[in-house]
A and B are shown apart, each in its own frame.
Chain A
Amino acid sequence: GQQVMQIPQYQHVQEGEDFTTYCNSSTTLSNIQWYKQRPGGHPVFLIQLVKSGEVKKQKRLTFQFGEAKKNSSLHITATQTTDVGTYFCAGPLMRSGGSNYKLTFGKGTLLTVNP
């Protein structure tokens, strides 16, 4: 079954509003990666978080990795039309004999921004 879940599935905002997407894994992740996929495009790497409780910022984007390394969030401040796309979290599931190369992706959150 679904091992990495993301909510919400869709989010529509007015330009300038904030946006947050949440990622939850049923299994501890060795790290969490975030990707952005524009409509008709391919996933593009945004960031990787490795440490428990880690917070990283990229301009208007703030990424967090939970203390238990099972959840993560992406927050965008003051959205712009260029932020439109689907945001995926992905990570290698830590389990006995598990690999650290095999990414399990969430279903993604589709963000649309009304100008």
Chain B
Amino acid sequence: GAGVSQSPRYKVAKRGQDVALRCDPISGHVSLFWYQQALGQGPEFLTYFQNEAQLDKSGLPSDRFFAERPEGSVSTLKIQRTQQEDSAVYLCASSLAPTSQPQHFGDGTRLSIL
């Protein structure tokens, strides 16, 4: 596709359930980022991949959060034992080069934990 695709667009889960969020970056983009955006806030960095290598996971809030990009393309963000404070929009972005370049964002997954 022409842009970054994320699925599902909306996810409702009960507290304690595990969730998996998918990101399809722009074809050929080396860099892939995950962000968490709370209501009324700017996106906050979670993790960064360069191809299949996860080079930075310093923004992941806890060890319940796990991300992977096994073949250097599609990425999955997994949250285990979800808690209410995990409710947010999870944005994926990709960029062509490994360095600081314009990032192309997907529409995000709005996660609601009941």
The reply to whether B42 and A31 form a contact with Cβ atoms under 8 Å apart is no
Q: What's the least CB distance linking A43 to chain B, in Å?
A: 5
B interface residue count range (under 10 / 10 to 19 / 20 to 34 / 35 or more):
20 to 34
By the criterion of a CB under 8 Å from any partner CB, how many residues of chain A are at the interface? Answer: 24
A105 to B1, CA, bound (A): 27
A41 to B42, CA, bound (A): 13
Q: Does A59 contact B (CB under 8 A)?
A: no
Q: Does A104 contact B (CB under 8 A)?
A: yes
The reply to whether A99 and B42 form a contact with Cβ atoms under 8 Å apart is no
Q: Does A85 contact B (CB under 8 A)?
A: no
A4 to B41, CA, bound (A): 12
The reply to whether B42 and A108 form a contact with Cβ atoms under 8 Å apart is yes
Chain A: residues with CB nearer than 8 A to chain B?
A: 4, 30-31, 33, 35, 41-45, 48, 88, 90, 92, 99-108
Q: State the 3 A-B residue pairs at the shortest beta-carbon distance, nearest first.
A: A105-B42, A45-B102, A42-B105
Chain B: residues with CB nearer than 8 A to chain A?
A: 31, 33, 40-45, 48, 56, 91, 93, 95, 98-100, 102-108
